[in-house]
Amino acid sequence: MKKVVSISFGEIALKGANRGFFENQLIRKIRFALRKFENIHVSKDQGKLYIEPNPEDIEEIIKRVRKVFGIVYVSPCYKIEKDMDSIREAAVYAMKQEMENGKSSFKVDTKRADKRYPIKSPDISRDIGGYILENLEGSSVDIHNPDTMVYVDIRTSAYVYTEKHKGYGGLPVGTNGKGLLLLSGGIDSPVAGFLMAKRGVEVHAIHFHSYPFTSERAEEKVKELANIISLYCGNMKLYSVNLLNIQKEINKNCPEDEMTIISRRFMMRIAEAIAKREGMDALITGESLGQVASQTIQGINVTNSSVSLPVLRPLIGTDKTDIVEISKDIETYETSILPFEDCCTVFLPKHPVTKPKLEDIEESESVLDVEGLVKSAVESAELEFIK
């Protein structure tokens, strides 16, 4: 009886001819997440993946694998020969451990992926349930509300387990193109990056600052946020761009109430130039409709018109309370609320325009050397690899 870790797919199981591509990418991501462990072997067995680790590493391995997108459940389980005697003994052993933790009622649930196995699933469940009752005094069957489930999987081998640790689902990172995330130090953009990575996008990030008007501690905060979301997204490139010269030009030459929206258009242009240079397919923002002055429909329309790449906004219809819940779950929240300024607070207008018209904004920008300012910002961008 060998202790292994089983991995259940989500949407990957629904893929047709492309399923092999998604499974192989998932295996690569699992191996990357477990790169610090030695001699990790990942194998397929009729619709599931199995990891054979050192027993003392299982708890840490489950913690890391849960963060790999494409996985819905992770379970420590016992791998055994596919004969009923071995299955019975493993089931009793697993249930005995549950009883030591105060649980007594159980239900057996059998899945028979190997349809050639001569005993059908309901018959296996009845046999195993009866054997547990005979051999563990104090145990009882409750098919409606059991203290614990005893799962039996019949594949190339047989597997018995009682625990299911929920993963985040989604698709493996790298199966849906590349995106450049506009990463601020706030709550929303890290969540946006997390959600797009969950849909299989390889996420990299760009951050804008106004040093020395903004502090180095604000920069460190953004790097820490990138480090946290890289636990889900994998290795990231983080571009850092000083926006101060552009902000000064806007402040000097453009109407005060357009400061925010014009600055935003410059950020998008700079992000797009870097994304195209690096072969990325889209920009990603943490905008939520109506949350701040620049995130009205009119503001978003004016912002969109500054770039040609698709702009992915996974939070656009999401309430702030829901965004906060996700940020707490992925552990970015405590870093996001640290009270350091960002570039958007520099030259902040008292009354920013909330319903900008594109023709007005373009007329205001006509006095600026837009192309030259963007080119200079792109050339001065600093790059850091987040691993």
Report whether 383 belongs to an annotated binding site: no
76 pLDDT above the threshold of 80:
yes
**Of 42, 11, 13, 46, nearest to 29 (Cα)?**
42
Alpha-carbon distance values, 314 to 230, 283, 366 (Å) = 18, 11, 32
Tokens representing 182 are: 């506009």
Three-state SS at 36: coil
What pLDDT digit, counting tens, does each position of 186-241 carry? 999 999 999 999 999 999 999 999 888 777 888 899 999 999 999 999 999 999 99
Size of the chain in residues: 387
Alpha-carbon distance values, 173 to 3, 263, 291 (Å) = 28, 31, 29
357 pLDDT above the threshold of 90:
yes
For domain 178-386, the CATH architecture is 3-Layer(aba) Sandwich (3.40)
Report whether 291 belongs to an annotated binding site: no
Report whether 41 belongs to an annotated binding site: no
Torsion of CA 379, 295, 334, 387, to 10 degrees: -30
Domain boundaries, the chain: 2-166, 178-386
Alpha-carbon distance values, 357 to 23, 214, 246 (Å) = 47, 30, 21
Spatial contact of 291 and 184, defined as CB atoms under 8 Å apart: no
Spatial contact of 173 and 26, defined as CB atoms under 8 Å apart: no
- Longest Cα–Cα distance of the chain, Å, equals 87
Report whether 338 belongs to an annotated binding site: no
Report whether 207 belongs to an annotated binding site: yes
Spatial contact of 202 and 177, defined as CB atoms under 8 Å apart: yes
What is the 8-class DSSP label of residue 11?
G
pLDDT of residue 292: 77
Alpha-carbon distance values, 245 to 37, 154, 263, 374, 377 (Å) = 47, 65, 11, 11, 9
Report whether 182 belongs to an annotated binding site: yes
Report whether 286 belongs to an annotated binding site: yes
Reported CATH class of domain 2-166? alpha beta
What pLDDT digit, counting tens, does each position of 88-135 carry? 999 999 999 999 999 999 999 999 999 999 999 999 999 999 999 999
Q: How far apart are CA 249 and CA 265, in angstroms?
A: 14
What is the 8-class DSSP label of residue 286?
-
Average pLDDT of the residues in 295-323: 95
